[in-house]
Chain A
Amino acid sequence: MRPAMQATVREFILMAVSCVTLASAIVVVFSRNIVRSAFSLFGTLAGVAALYVFLEAELLAGVQVLVYVGGIQVLILFGVMLIPQSYEVEVSRPAWKTFPAFMVLAGLGWILYRTVAALPPETSWVGREAGGMRAIGDALLGPYLLPFELISLLLVGALIGAVVWVRQVVR
């Protein structure tokens, strides 16, 4: 394939992936059925993983699929299924009650839009190197060793805490 055509195909796939990501995020937010939201979250998380591939962060794409799609998403599905009334709760608040929050979010969105629009359009990283897996591994066992170990402690703590908490109440 010629390089120009290759770039066009790449852009087209990037557009498609972004659209899938945002569209399934819209379904997550606005669906009236919480189960449909939970399944639609799959699309968003997988789409973000694909965006990581476009950013040449392959390790991060793998982590995203393993931890988010394989772990958190399954946990959310368990939550939806295990809590029997979770799809009987009237899912959303009436619109007029959330109007102030909507205004705040709209203002925030406007600021974000202006910020992104004010960037020079040629902001690009062509020619810049992407960090490989080896570099990330070195960083995790080098300058980031302490937070890395602390996070493993935090995960164990969260796990044990969750089990103890639930067992106490269920008894």
Chain B
Amino acid sequence: MSGAPWFWTVSCGLFLLGGWCVVRRKNAIGILMGVELILNAAALNFVVAARLRGDPVDGQVVSIFVILLAAAEAVVVFAASVVVYQLFHTADVDAVRDLKG
């Protein structure tokens, strides 16, 4: 039970929950949380698959890259939501309709 299928089940769950979070949330920060869940599921999958392949280093390196890219993405989303708040005075992504604030 503690083999690859279990970890894949967990990462499927994380991925679907993250996708639902992205679809359902109206708040920019809430959407960011969903994206983080999806990225976590993907990184977990890389580690499991590489472990199965018998050469675990590649998968772990890719997972490290995924985590670092997620950091860059979080910084940009954070800056974007601060800017959107300054321009529109809301964190609701549905209220942001103009291209030129």
A residues with a Cβ closer than 8 A to B are 10-11, 14, 18, 21-22, 25-26, 28-29, 34, 37-38, 41, 44-45, 48, 51-52, 54-57, 59-60, 63-64, 67-68, 71-72, 75-76, 78-80, 82-86, 89-93, 98, 101-102, 105, 108-109, 112-113, 116-117, 119, 121-125, 128-131, 135-136, 139-140, 144, 147, 151, 154-155, 158-159, 161-163, 165-166, 169-170
Contacts and interface: CB of A to CB of B under 8 A. Distances in A.
- Interchain residue pairs A-B with the least CB separation, the first 5: A162-B79, A124-B3, A131-B57, A131-B56, A158-B72
Contacts of B64: 59-60, 63, 136, 140
Contacts of A14: 2, 6
A144 B52 CA distance: 21
Contacts, number: 239
A160 to B, nearest CB: 10
Given A48-B44, A116-B5, A123-B52, A83 B81 contact: yes
Interface size class for chain B?
A: 35 or more
A51 to B, nearest CB: 6
B42 to A, nearest CB: 11
Interface of B: 1-10, 12-21, 23-30, 32-34, 36-37, 40, 43-44, 47-48, 51-52, 54-58, 60-61, 63-65, 67-76, 78-83, 85-87, 89-92
